[in-house]
Amino acid sequence: MKIRDIDLGERPVVLAPMEDVTDASFRILCREAGAAMVTTEFVSSDGLVRDAAKAIAKMHTLEEEAPVAVQIYGSIPEAMVDAARMADRAAELAGGHGADVVDINFGCPVSKIAGRGAGSGMMKDPDKLVAITEAVVKAVRKPVTVKTRLGWDDSSKIIVELAERLQDVGIEALTVHGRTRCQMYKGEADWTLIGRIKENPRMRIPVIGNGDINSALRAKEMFDRYGVDGIMVGRASFGHPWIFTEIRHYLDTGELLPAMSVADRVALAKRHFHLSLDLKGPVTGVFEMRRHLSCYFKGLRDFKDTRIKLVTSKDPEEILATLDYVAARWGDETPTAESVYGL
């Protein structure tokens, strides 16, 4: 699959953008694990106009992450065009690698965003959504992609027609999360309409399916059933960035990798923690790792007190010592493939 001249390989698996989760440290780990592309947390176009420094900082990416998309959202056309131009020039403005792709978020369901007509709120006004996309495509040099949902609610699942309109105004890939805005994250993602986009003979841009991919088996099933060009993984990567290795290996060989041992998980968590400290400093670096540290060791017996220590300590040395303790106490435990893959 290609986005213009960016070759993501056959059946690529990419990391979903997630606010407060997919910062540079996590994006690097996921790329190392085999994610074909990563995306920044979303950047508010209004924020870029109001508090440029904070928003521009979110556009900072590193060479190791490439290919990487910078994602923007908003509902004011002029602000979106300005934001897109800034994303396009992220390397100059924020330093580092910058953006290989400018991605527009029309999928966020959170009330304070969708309620103001941004994110998935834009699905209530598809003409405006398409017009903003067209203006952004015209304003930037980098390829523009869109990430969205099926529609606003059950009675307005507009994605099949919308996909074609977005292609016609020049986007170069489309990611669809198989839920409506009103579903938020409830129920199961429905990939039927994602498959229908792919069946439309007029569609030529790559389509990436997203929603509820939590194992290698599920990833393969979705590629096979719905014919998507790529797959995007979000929540299942929390504290489990090696899911990209597991999926890649299964897609390429048909074999399931054994589950990762606790000792290896400790080593990965430490590397993640060091990256976080290097990139964000000892205060924010510790704080922003908490969400991840609480997930790395899911399923270990008698782990509660240790988990609390990992997510409450403010001292990097203490956290590293606790991780050493996890390796010493649980290091020999390796979850079975059955428990990991739900066989």
Ligand X SMILES: Cc1cc2nc3c(=O)[nH]c(=O)nc-3n(C[C@H](O)[C@H](O)[C@H](O)COP(=O)(O)O)c2cc1C
Please indicate whether residue 108 is annotated as part of the active site.
yes
Q: What are phi and psi of 76, to 5 degrees?
A: -95, 115
Helix orientation angle between 126-139 and 159-168, rounded to the nearest 10 degrees: 30
- Count of Cβ atoms closer than 10 Å to residue 289 Cβ: 25
| 55-63, 120-128, 228-236, 295-303 -> range binding ligand X (CB under 6 A) | 228-236
In whole angstroms, what is the distance from residue 325 CA to residue 323 CA?
Answer: 5
47 touches ligand X by CB under 6 A: no
Instruction: Tell the smallest beta-carbon distance from residue 180 to ligand X (Å).
Output: 13
Closer residue to ligand X in complex, CB, 243/323: 243
Q: One-letter amino acid identity for 194?
A: I
177 touches ligand X by CB under 6 A: yes
The residue within the footprint of ligand X, chosen from 234, 239, 241, 285 (CB under 6 A), is: 234
Q: One-letter amino acid identity for 105?
A: N
Instruction: Tell the smallest beta-carbon distance from residue 20 to ligand X (Å).
Output: 6
Indicate the residue whose CB is closest to ligand X.
Answer: 234
| 14-22, 151-159, 254-262, 298-306 -> range binding ligand X (CB under 6 A) | 14-22
Instruction: Tell the smallest beta-carbon distance from residue 14 to ligand X (Å).
Output: 10
The residue within the footprint of ligand X, chosen from 44, 120, 210, 215 (CB under 6 A), is: 210
| 91-99, 101-109, 280-288, 299-307 -> range binding ligand X (CB under 6 A) | 101-109
The residue within the footprint of ligand X, chosen from 126, 143, 211, 241 (CB under 6 A), is: 211
239 touches ligand X by CB under 6 A: no
Closer residue to ligand X in complex, CB, 18/169: 18
Closer residue to ligand X in complex, CB, 167/175: 175
Instruction: Tell the smallest beta-carbon distance from residue 147 to ligand X (Å).
Output: 5
In whole angstroms, what is the distance from residue 237 CA to residue 275 CA?
Answer: 17
Instruction: Tell the smallest beta-carbon distance from residue 107 to ligand X (Å).
Output: 5
Closer residue to ligand X in complex, CB, 41/246: 41
Instruction: Tell the smallest beta-carbon distance from residue 17 to ligand X (Å).
Output: 4
CA dihedral (171, 175, 180, 184) in degrees, to 10, reads: -120
The residue within the footprint of ligand X, chosen from 23, 212, 229, 246 (CB under 6 A), is: 212
| 13-21, 59-67, 133-141, 153-161 -> range binding ligand X (CB under 6 A) | 13-21
The residue within the footprint of ligand X, chosen from 70, 93, 213, 216 (CB under 6 A), is: 213
- Count of Cβ atoms closer than 10 Å to residue 73 Cβ: 27
Closer residue to ligand X in complex, CB, 41/88: 41
Q: Which residues are catalytic?
A: 108
Residues engaged in binding ligand X (CB under 6 A): 16-19, 21, 41-42, 71, 105, 107-108, 147, 177, 210-213, 233-236
